[in-house]
């Protein structure tokens, strides 16, 4: 899931904030890239690895944030009714 934003077209390094912004934008534009991690997360604990010395400055917090957000959205959509609920049980017996 590592994207090639380490250098710009002119081969100068870009800022960390610009890297993270572009990385987040690309993952949001292609949510299917998160599906494998979401499946692993549903099955149990997921450990993300990096060679970065400072984890907070790496791509891992972005992945974690987006995966957890996608899981929450998926759970929220599962709570919504797909069709009108059947309320027959609330009617008096004579009207059923």
User: Given this model, what pLDDT does residue 8 score?
Assistant: 46
User: Given this model, what pLDDT does residue 84 score?
Assistant: 67
Express each pLDDT in 38-90 by its tens digit. 999 999 999 998 898 888 888 999 999 999 999 999 888 777 666 666 776 77
- Higher-confidence residue: 6 or 46? 46
- Higher-confidence residue: 78 or 17? 17
Quick one: residue 11, left, alpha or beta (phi over 0 = left, psi -120 to 50 = alpha)? Answer: left
Are the beta carbons of 63 and 48 closer than 8 angstroms?
A: yes
Q: Does residue 19 have a pLDDT over 90?
A: no
User: Given this model, what pLDDT does residue 16 score?
Assistant: 84
């Amino acid at each position: 899931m590592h994207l090639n934003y380490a250098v710009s077209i002119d081969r100068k390094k870009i800022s960390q904030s610009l890297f993270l912004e572009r990385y987040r934008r690309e993952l949001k534009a292609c949510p299917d890239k998160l599906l494998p991690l979401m499946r692993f997360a549903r099955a149990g604990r997921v450990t993300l690895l990096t060679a970065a010395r400072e984890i907070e400055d790496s791509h891992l917090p972005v992945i974690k944030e987006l995966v957890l957000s996608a899981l929450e959205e998926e759970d929220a959509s599962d709570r919504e009714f797909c069709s009108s609920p059947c309320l027959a049980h609330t009617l008096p017996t004579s009207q059923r």
